[in-house]
Amino acid sequence: MTRSCLAVVLAAGDGTRMKSSKSKVLHPVGNLPMIAHVVGAAQAAAVDALAVVVGRDSDAVAEAANSAVPVSTHMQKERLGTAHAVLAARDDIAKGYDDLLVLFGDTPLVSPQTLKQARASLADGADVVVIGFRPDNPHGYGRLIEEHGELLAIREHRDASEEERKITFCNGGMMAVSGRLALELLDAVENDNAKGEYYLTDIVGIARSRGGRVIAIEASAEEVLGVDTRVGLARVEALWQAAKRHDLMTAGVSMTAPETVFLSHDTLIEADAMIEPNVVFGPGVTIASGAIIKSFSHLEGATVAKGCTVGPFARLRPGADLQDKAKVGNFCEVKNAVLGTGAKVNHLTYVGDADIGAGSNIGAGTVTCNYDGFNKHRTIIGEGAFIGSNSSLVAPVEIGSQAYVASGSVITGNVEGDSLAFGRAQQVNKQGLGRKLRERLQADKQRRQKDET
């Protein structure tokens, strides 16, 4: 029989050490709020429902915790300890789930595998499962005291004996609790301590005193790493990026300097794509096999098909759709535009709100003038068209297939297929006027210099 599971995510902390105008769980890792990473791990661990305990920025936190499984939010009006925070979700806990996971909204690196292992331990008969880890330096962490495979106690560093401080297995904070015992154990927690708070860790001793079985499982130190400061956020970001790069390269993606490539939570790159140094992927990017993303390019909300080349120094903005073997070169920007198969936008060009036909060539310095100050308009260019350098295409406008636009043109009307369009003033040469202009400008400069002295 499949076991049911509720995950309670604690996300009510003020996060004052972040020195931020928003809740710390809303700060992103891989361009996704930290709490969304935690929710995603819980969902991948097959939970049936999520209860998010909120405080500051409750509406924004609830929105960030959106999930494919039902999500409820519970306001924690007072901060009286972790057990008190969990009990804010009492109504959901009381529904009688088989398993209860207690997670933290500021630990974005927790893995579904660890949560699944915790649930499996409950299925094997444990009443409480504590998720522990082994830090490089255990100083300051609560130690997990074990004997014969069971967890006897969680001893805070300040209370531990010299012998206990030699233990390197430490409390990571997250737990799994038998659903049938959860409320009974939580309600038994008292606040007889210096801070007058209700500590979740006390349920270990309470469960054992009642004959329950308590065990600890081990997670990596990265998984339980919480974020309290901007420094901690940067550390977690670096760990997340390194893991994401590793996964992509293991799957067949080439990166010549992986430490300089920055990815998003939803970045999709197929095998045999090449990513050169100093590339940034914003949300919503898909790169197909055989594509090359050259150095110093920035992509967001873009689709790059097989065999395409992007960059160097290119920017693909949301809605950029490059079809097979299209090319976007150096210092080009593409936004909300489709580049057909083999189309080329090579140099110093802006293509926005446009459809570029297969095999077309867009010359250097071309601009699709898509905005009139109030509304956006579309430029449509047919297959095999050639747009000369330094052309301005004033949308809405259509350039037919195989048409030519002469360099330096300002095109305000449609151009039929196979036509040649000139949209520039006629050149006029005035013999000797250049010399007269130069003499006048030189005299003006000398006059100004004399007046300044």
Q: What is the residue whose two structure tokens read 């409820």?
A: 72
Can you give the pLDDT at residue 9?
A: 98
To the question of whether residue 199 is assigned a binding role by annotation, the answer is no
Query: Quick one: tokens of 178?
Result: 């038998």
Q: Which of 157, 265, 347, 377 is catalytic?
A: 347
Same domain, 335 and 269: yes
pLDDT tens digits along 259-281: 999 999 999 999 999 999 999 99
pLDDT averaged over every residue in the chain: 95
To the question of whether residue 31 is assigned a binding role by annotation, the answer is no
Written in H, E and C, the secondary structure of 430-449 is CCCHHHHHHHHHHHHHHHHH
Three-state DSSP class for residue 168: coil
Does residue 347 carry a catalytic annotation?
Answer: yes
Domain membership flag for residue 342? yes
Same domain, 197 and 253: no
What is the chain's percent helix, strand, coil content, to nearest 5? 25, 30, 45
Containing domain of residue 266, as a range?
230-421
- Where is average pLDDT lowest: 90-94, 194-198, 310-314, 353-357? 194-198
To the question of whether residue 11 is assigned a binding role by annotation, the answer is yes
Can you give the pLDDT at residue 193?
A: 82
To the question of whether residue 364 is assigned a binding role by annotation, the answer is yes
Domain membership flag for residue 115? yes
To the question of whether residue 13 is assigned a binding role by annotation, the answer is yes
Can you give the pLDDT at residue 312?
A: 98
- In contact, 69 and 89? CB cutoff 8 Å: no
Largest CA distance in the chain: 106
Residue 349: which pLDDT band, with cuts at 50, 70 and 90?
very high
Same domain, 14 and 115: yes
pTM: 0.91
Phi then psi for 404, rounded to 5 degrees?
Answer: -115, 140
Average pLDDT estimate for 316-328: 98
Give Cβ neighbours of residue 404 (< 8 Å, ≥ 6 apart): 385, 386, 388, 419, 420, 421
Can you give the pLDDT at residue 1?
A: 58
Tallying the residues shown for the chain, one arrives at: 453
To the question of whether residue 24 is assigned a binding role by annotation, the answer is yes
**Number of domains forming the structure of the chain:** 2
- pLDDT of residue 36 exceeding 80: yes
Same domain, 281 and 388: yes
Three-state DSSP class for residue 2: coil
Can you give the pLDDT at residue 293?
A: 98
Domain membership flag for residue 377? yes
Same domain, 103 and 244: no
How open is the CA angle 372-351-344, to the nearest 5 degrees?
Answer: 155
Can you give the pLDDT at residue 15?
A: 81
Choose from 9-18, 55-64, 133-142, 265-274 the range with maximum mean pLDDT.
265-274
pLDDT tens digits along 168-198: 999 999 999 999 999 999 999 998 887 888 9
**How many angstroms separate the CA atoms of 237 and 109, rounded?**
9
DSSP structure class, residue 369: E
Strand order of the β-sheet with 386-387 is 254-255, 274-275, 292-293, 309-310, 327-330, 344-347, 361-362, 386-387, 404-405, 420-421
How open is the CA angle 107-112-113, to the nearest 5 degrees?
Answer: 120
**How many angstroms separate the CA atoms of 77 and 102, rounded?**
19
Same domain, 89 and 157: yes
Phi then psi for 40, rounded to 5 degrees?
Answer: -65, -40
Can you give the pLDDT at residue 78?
A: 87
Cα dihedral 187, 192, 197, 199 in deg (nearest 10): -60
Same domain, 207 and 289: no
**CATH at 413:** 2.160.10.10
pLDDT tens digits along 40-97: 999 999 999 999 999 999 999 999 999 889 999 999 988 899 999 999 999 999 999 9
**CATH at 169:** 3.90.550.10
Can you give the pLDDT at residue 145?
A: 95
pLDDT-above-90 percentage for the chain: 90
